[in-house]
Every structure is written in structure tokens, then in C-alpha cells.
Amino acid sequence: MGTTCVIVGFFRMHRSINITVISFNRMLVYEFVNNGNLEQWLHGAMRQHGVFTWDNRMKVVIGTAKALAYLHEAIEPKVVHRDIKSSNILIDDEFNGKVSDFGLAKMLGSDKSHITTRVMGTFGYVAPEYANTGMLNEKSDVYSFGVLLLETVTGRDPVDYSRSSNEVNLVEWLKMMIANRRAEEVVDPILEVRPTIRALKRALLIALRCVDPDSEKRPKMGQVARMLESEEVPFREDRRNRRSRTGSMDIESITEGSTSAEFAIKVERTGSSRSDRSQT
């Protein structure tokens, strides 16, 4: 309990983190949130309470991104949550996301690039470099957030063995859909009002950057939060250059070794191609 109180003492002023502390009694106090969690809205009991709209989904993930940015960038030592997943994102009545459950959290001082620890977390959300080496830093949370964002967009579990073999892993399935020029088909089918092409493209681009296999290429969570709130699309190219290249709008063959940044650029080109054709 003592260690937990040291960690959460930093969190009491941030509205997107569902925890506070009364230091003199070493007592943890949680905000009462009775609107379920992200997992329940995507896959479980809360679905019967209404449609989880695209705007509400994005509001939840933006709140989550801001909370992680606070943990990683606004306090010293920074805090790596280590178990970002849909069941740990509580939702209030106004669909604000609240990051909860800091039982696996680790502190990381500014003098360290990483710590080595026993691999913990939830299968499907754990960053590959952490799973393989036990080396942990805030970029592990960024990867987990990318999976969370894809889960929110698609309504699919990160790992689902009830699906065919090429659809079991959410990240790999998403890459396959992009390779097959079917990016627009990944949206959760229960959504009554689909997002605009621009909004979908933005979400997919950001998610793919977050799940890049190379942790050094993943953005910081502060950058992620700003990109999610922006009307601009990441990796946007100059339209004149884009139109001057023959075949540049099509998704090219994607090799197994392609980075998520390369996938992201392909999403941008594909979506822009369809948008351009619709205006002619």
C-alpha cells in the first residue's frame, strides 16, 4: 500500500485519472463512476444501454491519451501504467474516459531510459519489445494505447481465437485489411452513423504510429492527444505532389517487414485517392 500511495500522490489533480490519495492516512479514494468501462461498451453489458457513437468513442480515447500524457510527461518521476486496456478505462455519464487500476504501474526517473522488470500486462496489448526483453518505458504504454484505439474503432477484441486464423490478432488483421485496400471496412458494424473518411483515416493513422514495432518511432502521448483533437490528418502530403505521381494513391504491396509508419502513409494515400475520386 505504501508504494501505491507514493505513486498515486501525483495524480490527484488530473480529471482523467480515477484515483486520489489522502496522504496522512495512506488511504486511496476512487471517484464513483457508474457508466461502465470501455470494454463493457464495446463488447459487453453496456451495449444494451444504447449505441456507443463515434464521437463518444473518440471522447473516451482522447481523455485516455491526455491522462497518459500527464503520467509520462507532466510529473517526475514519470509513471508507466503497464496495463492499459479497455476494461481499465472507466467512463462517466458524459463519456469522459478515466484511467484506472495502477496495480502494475512503475515509476521511471528522468535519469533512466527504461527499467527491466518481469513482463506483466494483458495479452494483446503488451508491446513486443517489452514482451521479448522485459525492458519497459513509456513507449510500452503508447503501444497499448494504439491497440486500444484500434479496438475502439473496430469493436474487435485485441486477440480473438473465435475468428479465422488471419483475423485472430487485431493489429495484424488491420494491416491485412489495409494491404487489401479495405481500410474503410474496419469500422465497428454496430455504429449507426459511420465516421467521415477523414475522421477514420486520422484514427487509423494515429493508431498505426502507436503500434509501430520500433518503439523509437512511436509518438509521445502528448503528441497523440494533440493529433486526436486536430482536424488535420497526420502524414498529410502536398496535394500537388500526390496527384503528380502515377499510382501513388493505391496501396502498394506490403512486406512483412514494413513499419507501422509505412502502413500509415498507405492509409493516407488510399483514403485521399477515394476522396479525390468522389470529388471529380
Determine the Cα–Cα distance for residues 267 and 263; give it in Å rounded to an integer.
6
On whether the CB atoms of residues 28 and 119 are closer than 8 A, the answer is no
Helix or strand run (H / E) with residue 21: strand 20-22
Catalytic site residue from 83, 92, 157, 188: 83
Enter the C-alpha cell of residue 160.
480473438
Interatomic CA distance for residues 16 and 52, integer angstroms: 19
The alpha carbon of residue 44 and the mean position of all alpha carbons in its chain are separated, in whole angstroms, by 19
Could you confirm whether 83 is annotated as catalytic?
yes
- Burial annotation 49-78 (CB, 10 A radius, 16+ → b, else e): eeebebebbbbbbbbbbbbbbbbbeebeeb
Any idea which residue has 513482463 for its cell? 119
The pair phi, psi for residue 27, each rounded to 5°, is -115, 130
Residues 198 and 270 sit within 8 Å (Cβ to Cβ): no
Where is 74: in which H helix or E strand?
Answer: none
Catalytically active residues are 83
